[in-house]
Amino acid sequence: MIRSILCAFCAALLLGACAAVGPDYTRPAINLPGAYPDAPADLPAAAAVPAEWWKLYGDQRLDELVASALERNADMRLAVARIEEADANLREVGAAFLPEVDLGGTPQRQRISARTATPIPSSIPLVRNDIRLTLGTSFEIDFWGKLRRAIEATRALALGSRYAKEVVTLSLAGLTAQAYFSLRSLDAQIALTRTTLASREEALTLVRNRARGGIASDLEVNQAELARADASVQLKDLLRQRSLIEHQLGSLTGRLDLALPSGDLLTLPMPPLPPAGLPSTLLQRRPDILQAEQQLIAANAQIGIARAAMFPTISLTAYAGGQSAALSTVLSTGAGIWSLGFGLALPIFDAGRYAARTQAAEARGRQSVANYQKAVETAFREVADALANVRQTAAAEEDQQTRAQAARNVLRLAGLRYEAGYSAYLEVLDAQRAANEAELAFVRNRQSRLVASVDLMKALGGGWSMDQLPVSNAALRDTGGK
């Protein structure tokens, strides 16, 4: 009997080894340009960048903030929990591919009627025991590959959840770094504004003294007071913005009581740039693209599941055990019972329901292809944008520095001319505004350059190694990304 059951299971496994219905996955071919728009051809080669790319900025406090964010942020905990859920789902689907064995026991005591149409022999008691103990199993034969496609889809979703965690890691590190640069930029702007406020207070004192001596007019005094008040308002607004950025960093890092001392933005180094022409490597490196591909794989497997539902469902059921009136003899010789059976269910008329489900799965597959293509194209654009921003902000930095120095010289000369009586105070006011704007613009340009470098790191999927750089776009187009 046991041999018969084992033979039946072996036959079922052999039947389940047939090819699964539905399309097998192949990565879609994506046509990408040979190089980024406006990318310089003579961009120098860069050394490999570690996975913890934020350490290239050489700021220990930034390193601590990113580490805290990756450890304590709620989004990271959510991503980890989703990975655990996906792994559990994968184990559940994998278990469905194997037989489930259940132990069943049905002890009962019953009384039968003595008033039935057929007389009950006197030797048969009206009250009796019936104890049944069995090991049973049921098993769906995966003849059309429905279970295998389900495992394929769930495995892809589980892997996609891991890439989703990498997306969160990359985004969280980037947001923390950019918020930190904003904070340091505000520190520099606050320091400059305090210096401006001090100089305008000195100018106000000078103008008031000149007015008491009859050299300056009340108009000039009011203009000086207006300039000092503008600087004071600007300082308070910068302090307000710094508090908001500090609160944002506290939320990102899971440290709501975070308080950071002032720092110097201009001491932060710029990380190395990669060579131009990296779009093909994005398919292998960016976690959001890898996640989109796993979603595409899962959607492709769902097509096979939908098609398999249109074919017969073949299942095997079996049980073996014993049945007796007493528990002590339920497993004795002569009490054995067993059963072996096959089940077949074939949809004959479904009013097009299964065909519609298959068409819906195919449509979702095409949506996943479009989402994958969009992810690749978006990645290409983000790298191109980041390269352009880094290049332009770097090129503008020297002009911004020259502008700030010239504005300071103009302010100094305007002050000398006013004190000597060669010009009106309005010329000093214009020079003050120009100097303040130029110095703040220089700091903000440095912030934009650092932020653009973080955008570039994120667009490239984090750090890179030299063996990833030689992959060409032509090779991608020729192989279709395989």
Q: For the segment 220-233, what is each residue's pLDDT rounded down to a tens digit?
A: 999 999 999 999 99
- Predicted confidence at residue 471, as pLDDT, reads 43
Average pLDDT score over residue span 341-369: 88
- Predicted confidence at residue 277, as pLDDT, reads 54
In the chain, what percentage of residues exceed pLDDT 70? 87
Q: Which domains are delineated in the chain?
A: 19-98+144-311+357-479 (1.20.1600.10)
- Predicted confidence at residue 279, as pLDDT, reads 56
Q: CA separation (Å) from 323 to 66, 103, 124, 445?
A: 67, 14, 17, 86
Beta bridge partners of 342: 316
- Which of 138-152, 190-204, 215-229 shows the lowest per-residue confidence on average (mean pLDDT)? 138-152
Tell me how crowded residue 336 is: count the other CB atoms within 10 A of its CB.
14
Average pLDDT score over residue span 138-153: 84
Average pLDDT score over residue span 309-314: 86
Query: Cα(265)–Cα(246) distance, rounded to whole angstroms?
Result: 15
- Predicted confidence at residue 1, as pLDDT, reads 46
33-71 burial, b at 16+ Cβ within 10 Å, e below that, comes to: eeebeebeeeeeeeeebeeebbbbbebeebeebbebbbe
Q: What one-letter code names the amino acid at 96?
A: A
Q: Which of 429, 446, 436, 447 is nearest to 404 (CA)?
A: 436
- Predicted confidence at residue 249, as pLDDT, reads 95
Mean pLDDT of the chain: 84
- Predicted confidence at residue 248, as pLDDT, reads 95
Query: Cα(11)–Cα(7) distance, rounded to whole angstroms?
Result: 6
Say yes or no to pLDDT of 81 above 50.
yes
Q: CA separation (Å) from 318 to 27, 146, 315, 337?
A: 42, 22, 10, 11
pLDDT tens profile 418-464:
888 888 888 999 999 999 999 999 999 999 999 999 998 888 888 76
- Predicted confidence at residue 339, as pLDDT, reads 85
pTM: 0.80
pLDDT tens profile 235-261:
999 999 999 999 999 999 999 999 999
pLDDT tens profile 372-427:
999 988 988 888 898 889 889 989 999 999 999 999 999 999 989 988 888 888 89
Average pLDDT score over residue span 318-328: 82
- Predicted confidence at residue 477, as pLDDT, reads 41
Average pLDDT score over residue span 104-115: 82
- Predicted confidence at residue 191, as pLDDT, reads 94
